[in-house]
Structure 1
């Protein structure tokens, strides 16, 4: 059975004393709200590297007297004004903190959603969270305040509340990033400790290599900003592998664990994450093998082209042998400093596909590609064919692979390059 407390008051902290250590196994606490019984469920958040839960997100659950569930969205829509919204928000946070405190969770974080919109509009006493932590016995450094930054128009007031939580010792997380009107400038400004990627992004990335690359770039950018990254909504092994490939720090979702009232901190997920990491390594090996296989058939033609250029010093004439392969897009020559010293020589079958919208970029004369991996890797390993990873070509805004190799002519070192069209699988 649930321990039931009276509806909570909002002008002072809930009068619940910290539980004694021997009461950690007591039944969870519930409270009443408009005829509903409210209690807490907790969903684990896992560190990929550690293979274990490092935090738990508190989620509200509501039931009618007959035991039927009230959807959380319907519950959160019940308040009629900002003050009532804040009261319900505080009720949920109070329940989560005390239910979390009654369970054995080690040093794990408690992630609490905070309705920042009404926190700003109602401007309540900012001592509520401090008093709640003191009453529960949970140290502030174990509390992660989740904020949806796009909900708040008064950005200055939001920053003041965030500053207050930081002074308490809490961590700050931005929730649902990548949805709606999320902006990276808010990340630079708010400097969150953790950013939670919206579940829709991992779902889309699981179905699209293009979105998967976007996710990877987003995670990298957030890391550069100094934030750890949680990927939410992971519901399949494939999505878990995508999150790992994107270099996320933590994952959360039904694939690992559903929200439960009772936290099982002793449950071992190390085997699950070991298997996922091995799977990701296998995927990386397979992708590299697929790339090598994609290029293997053209390597012989490319060696002929390089040999022809070494003897004739004519890029256009030497490129002709490569154009028998329908994947060939263009050939060009770079000097040792990375400058393009020949015009782009396009395959005849590709000429018709040239997009006039990118005309300012189609001419590569005197462009400098020294920052490109196909140039500096070729110089690092003279005479060895280099194969780039798929990337977006600035010449025509299409995905391509570049095959390159150094060639010495009359004592001068050049890098002969050939771009191949890359169609996403």
Structure 2
């Protein structure tokens, strides 16, 4: 757990003097390219972890992660370090010291791209009263790192219900910094936080990578979450990627940026981009091979249903009987049912079940399908948009039988009227 994601104490700035840039600059020590700063008897240094873009095939930034040692040279975990701050002034001073050493170290290494910086919730909430802008401008100017290259990560602890939250966000953006919402999906995170913050980047919690690799339903859900975040106006970064499989899943989900041990561990040494780029290219090769195999398996699984529903529509358009037209489709091993919709989406036939169709187990009630209207469904809209072409939905929970299914559909004409023939297919 990193320092800035720890809970904040219930205090407000009071008493004492916050360290400004000059004070911190006087505490800093430099050995070759290594920058350290002393705080309350501890020595702080910055370790940088790469953040990559799949599309650009390169490192696009680094996150600064604080590392501390005590007077004896022993490593001090971030939570332990945080607990040494007894007052709000000390806590905000520690927060500033961390940002100072990250910015200075990134500049010393001459890194390109963005620098991601955590900010403690208390420091975030009190930016205006502590003149944070002056400190940030002076620090960025001294190290020739423009504020526009800084991405401030905000955790859900900072998202309060009062107006100071919006004021702090505006304050950061007026300074020129970008904003990232950190650890989305952990704790009580929800889309309300995205709508309020309007972050340039949303960092998905590492649990997404773990779950998507272990659970197919989570793997199907991840692209939908990414798509929603894109539509909300944010780029998406997935944290905690440790394996090639997790990276491939992130790429398939259209994640923009990735971070994790696979691409590089946090390091106090000058970063080398070439090994990371080689890893990205390996992920691309794995993705290409996997996508080709997935498409092959998908076509093999769905083709019989596509051909059968197309055959049924041709027979119905030729005014053949429903039983004759649907016999081939309903005889397929995974077929659930067929039904016909008019051009407004009203169901004009009964549900015509395949033998052995699964019934709902207490999730959906038995209903009179004569009143049903399915015009909102993708299988209806897409079929009307592409007459004569079979359309296939993504897997979804079927409201009629409470099982995972896909629907194949096709628009045809009979007696001058448009009809949409739909067939549900079990997709366990």
In the alignment, does 2:75 pair up with 1:53?
Answer: no
Pick aligned residue for 2:79 from 73, 77, 96:
73
In the alignment, does 2:235 pair up with 1:215?
Answer: no
In 2, Cα distance between the equivalents of 1:13 and 1:308? Answer: 79
Checking the alignment, whether the CA contact within 8 Å between 2:58 and 2:273 is kept in structure 1 is no
Taking a change above 3 Å as real, the CA distance of residues 251 and 365 of structure 1, as seen in their structure-2 partners, is same
Using structure 1 for the length normalisation, give the TM-score: 0.84
Pick aligned residue for 2:32 from 26, 33, 43:
26
In the alignment, does 2:426 pair up with 1:421?
Answer: yes
Pick aligned residue for 1:249 from 222, 246, 256:
256
Checking the alignment, whether the CA contact within 8 Å between 2:340 and 2:347 is kept in structure 1 is yes
Aligned partner of 1:4 in structure 2 is none
Aligned partner of 2:293 in structure 1 is 286
Pick aligned residue for 2:246 from 232, 236, 239:
239
Deviation at 1:208, TM superposition (A): 1.8
Aligned partner of 2:395 in structure 1 is 390
Pick aligned residue for 2:406 from 383, 401, 422:
401
Deviation at 1:314, TM superposition (A): 4.4
Deviation at 1:40, TM superposition (A): 0.7
Deviation at 1:79, TM superposition (A): 2.0
Deviation at 1:255, TM superposition (A): 0.5
Once the two structures are superposed, residues 213-251 of structure 1 have per-residue CA deviations (whole angstroms, 9 ceiling, x without a partner) of: 332122112211221111111111111111111111111
Deviation at 1:300, TM superposition (A): 6.8
Using structure 2 for the length normalisation, give the TM-score: 0.84
Checking the alignment, whether the CA contact within 8 Å between 2:195 and 2:232 is kept in structure 1 is yes
Deviation at 1:264, TM superposition (A): 2.2
In the alignment, does 2:337 pair up with 1:295?
Answer: no
Task: Say which SS state the counterpart of residue 85 (structure 2) adopts.
Answer: coil
RMSD between aligned residues: 3.1
Once the two structures are superposed, residues 99-130 of structure 1 have per-residue CA deviations (whole angstroms, 9 ceiling, x without a partner) of: 11212113x11111000234426942333222
Deviation at 1:133, TM superposition (A): 1.9
Aligned partner of 2:9 in structure 1 is none
Aligned partner of 2:49 in structure 1 is 43
Pick aligned residue for 2:151 from 139, 144, 158:
144
Q: How does 1:254-403 map to 2 (within 5 A)?
A: 254-267=261-274, 269-297=276-304, 302=309, 305-306=312-313, 309=316, 313-315=320-322, 318-319=325-326, 322-351=329-358, 353-359=359-365, 363=369, 365-369=371-375, 372-373=378-379, 376-377=382-383, 380=386, 382=388, 385-403=390-408
Task: Say which SS state the counterpart of residue 102 (structure 1) adopts.
Answer: helix
Taking a change above 3 Å as real, the CA distance of residues 362 and 346 of structure 1, as seen in their structure-2 partners, is farther
Pick aligned residue for 2:98 from 92, 96, 109:
92
Aligned partner of 1:3 in structure 2 is none
Aligned partner of 1:82 in structure 2 is 88
Pick aligned residue for 2:197 from 169, 178, 190:
190
In 2, Cα distance between the equivalents of 1:196 and 1:300? Answer: 42
Task: Say which SS state the counterpart of residue 340 (structure 1) adopts.
Answer: coil
Task: Say which SS state the counterpart of residue 279 (structure 1) adopts.
Answer: helix
Checking the alignment, whether the CA contact within 8 Å between 1:150 and 1:182 is kept in structure 2 is no
Checking the alignment, whether the CA contact within 8 Å between 1:401 and 1:419 is kept in structure 2 is yes
Task: Say which SS state the counterpart of residue 357 (structure 1) adopts.
Answer: coil
In 2, Cα distance between the equivalents of 1:125 and 1:115? Answer: 15
Deviation larger for 249-258 or 187-196: 187-196
Taking a change above 3 Å as real, the CA distance of residues 81 and 363 of structure 1, as seen in their structure-2 partners, is farther
Taking a change above 3 Å as real, the CA distance of residues 146 and 231 of structure 1, as seen in their structure-2 partners, is same
In 2, Cα distance between the equivalents of 1:31 and 1:300? Answer: 69
Taking a change above 3 Å as real, the CA distance of residues 226 and 375 of structure 1, as seen in their structure-2 partners, is closer
- Structure 2: give runs of 5+ residues left out of the alignment: 1-16
